[in-house]
Amino acid sequence: MNHDEIRELLHAYADGELDLINAREIEQHLRRCDECRGAEEQIRALRQALTSDSPSYRAPAHLRRKIRAAVRREAKEKTFSPWLAFAVGAACAVIAIALVFFQTTRVSRENAIVDQVIANHVRSLLATHLVDIPSSDQHTVKPWFDGKIDFAPDVHDFATSGFPLVGGRLDYLDGKTVVALVYQRNKHPINVFIMPAAGSSDSSPALSTRRGYNILSWTHADMRYWAVSDLNETELRQFAELLIR
Amino acid sequence: MFRLTESPRLSEFERKVLPHLDAAYNLARFLMRNEQDAEDVVQEAALRAFRFFDNFRGENSRAWFLRIVRNTSFTVLKKNRPDEMNIAFDEELHGGQTPPMDAGVALDRAQDRQTVRAAIEQLPPEFREAITLRELEGASYKEIADIAGVPIGTVMSRLARARQHLQGILSKTK
């Protein structure tokens, strides 16, 4: 190595970054070269000057606490792996969508049946085809359904309560053959539609009002009921109570 | 919901990275040149380090953490104080030649803390970084190269220039 090359390496030499062979070569050069020895001495003097009064800054205690707390907070948030979080999120979204879809289809299906109930009621009045079996005798009406449908509805006359049985007929609701019982309250005819609803839990009568008609629907003893009439709500509810009893 | 009382990742991070908070703050403090920015940088860097802790391969946690501190500092400097960054000595412009130390200067070997700090702060950011890591943190050339993301040759020339500057500043202030 010549003088210039050596001067290039003086810092590395002073920093102890040179391998043994190069370091030894520089040592030999320093013994002969005053200029390089002076420069090397200055590097050492500067290094000593810089660190003599330990000018390093130390992290303040409040910063340490802040960082420790921040990292712990972050650790709690991140205990989920991103993939797990994504999977859970996706699953929740699917369930939510399914629930909304199920709920809306259920509601719209319910609405469609109520519309049919009204249509059936109106048709039965228009066509003067209110009943297939005109009878106020429950013991005549009930057997009439035998063999025509695959379930046996309870048929009672409530004449003593002011709701005399007029008769019965077969009708269609929600694509199924259902029992229609016809009662009368003063001049107001009441159609009661009954279909099997196996496995459904009992529910109390819920009112819908459409086109001036009141409809009560409920489930009782594995049967679904719809009572529809232009009768006022109070009297229709009285009637529903009679049926459920 | 599935919260663990103490994740192994957290305790490993606290064991391997947090002991270097002093070094991190020291570097950030000299780079940012004020307390508040230095604290912000170190906190930000610590959180970043924790997020990327899975990428840490376990070789040298101090250099790994200081690189994040350094990068966070320079990002803030470039964004908030672009004028300071322009003072940076361009190594290419000044050639690869290492400037000689002035052998004739009589430099007092003992300098008080405030004088040294003020002198280092006068250097361009890359030189402050090299000097802080080398003289105050005792980092090797290889570590400095890793932290700063430059070749070892660049580390050597930055150190040489930084020392030449410091020699000039300190011999004047005497």
Q: Nearest Cβ partner of B43 from A39, A70, A75?
A: A70
Measured between CA atoms, the residue of chain A closest to residue B160 is: A11
Number of Cβ atoms within 10 Å of the Cβ of A55: 22
Q: What local confidence, expressed as pLDDT, does residue A128 receive?
A: 60
Q: What local confidence, expressed as pLDDT, does residue B173 receive?
A: 60
B99 and B76 in a common domain: no
Query: Is the CB of B9 less than 8 angstroms away from the CB of A52?
Result: no
For range A187-195, the mean pLDDT: 91
B98 and B141 in a common domain: yes
- For residue B2, being part of any structural domain is answered with no
B168 and B93 in a common domain: yes
Q: Domain count for chain B, please give it.
A: 2
Contact, B113 vs B151, CB < 8 A?
Answer: no
C-alpha to C-alpha distances, A89 to A85, A100, A103, B81, B142, nearest whole angstrom = 6, 16, 21, 42, 45
What is the Cα–Cα distance from A141 to A132, expressed in whole angstroms?
Answer: 10
- For residue B1, being part of any structural domain is answered with no
B77 and B30 in a common domain: yes
Domain end residue (candidates: B84, B99, B120): B84
> What percent of chain A has pLDDT above 90?
39
Based on its alpha-carbon atoms, the radius of gyration of chain A, rounded to whole angstroms, reads 47
Which is nearest to A189 in space by CA: A168, A175, A160, A210? A168
B169 and B103 in a common domain: yes
The amino acid at residue A130 is L
| Chain A residues within an 8 Å CB radius of B131 | 50
Mean pLDDT, chain A, as a whole number?
87
Q: Nearest Cβ partner of B47 from A52, A71, A79?
A: A71
Interface probe with B: pick from A67, A74, A78, most Cβ of B within 10 Å = A67
Beta strands in A15-87 (DSSP E): none
Predicted confidence (pLDDT) at residue A115 exceeds the cutoff of 80: yes
Out of A1-10, A151-160, B80-89, pick the least confident: B80-89
What is the Cα–Cα distance from B69 to B63, expressed in whole angstroms?
Answer: 10
Q: Which domains does chain A have, with CATH numbers?
A: 3-51 (no CATH), 110-244 (3.30.200.100)
Residue A77, chain B, CB below 8 Å: the answer is no
Q: Which ipTM was obtained for this model?
A: 0.88
B92 and B80 in a common domain: no
- For residue B149, being part of any structural domain is answered with yes
Query: Which parts of chain B sit beneath pLDDT 50?
Result: 1-5, 92-93, 95
Residue B14 CB-density burial (10 A; 0-12 exposed, 13-18 middle, 19+ buried): middle
Q: List the domain range (segments joined by +) for residue B158.
A: 88-173
Out of A10-19, A114-123, A182-191, B23-32, pick the least confident: A114-123
What is the Cα–Cα distance from B115 to B155, expressed in whole angstroms?
Answer: 24
- pTM of whole model > 0.95? no
B14 and B79 in a common domain: yes
Domain end residue (candidates: B28, B56, B84): B84
Domain end residue (candidates: B45, B68, B84): B84
- For residue B75, being part of any structural domain is answered with yes
pLDDT per position as a tens digit, A9-55: 999 999 999 988 999 999 999 999 999 999 999 999 999 999 999 99
Q: Nearest Cβ partner of A42 from B43, B107, B117?
A: B107
Alpha helices, H only, chain B: 8-16, 21-32, 35-51, 61-80, 82-86, 113-121, 125-131, 141-148, 152-173
B102 and B50 in a common domain: no
Beta partners for A133? A168
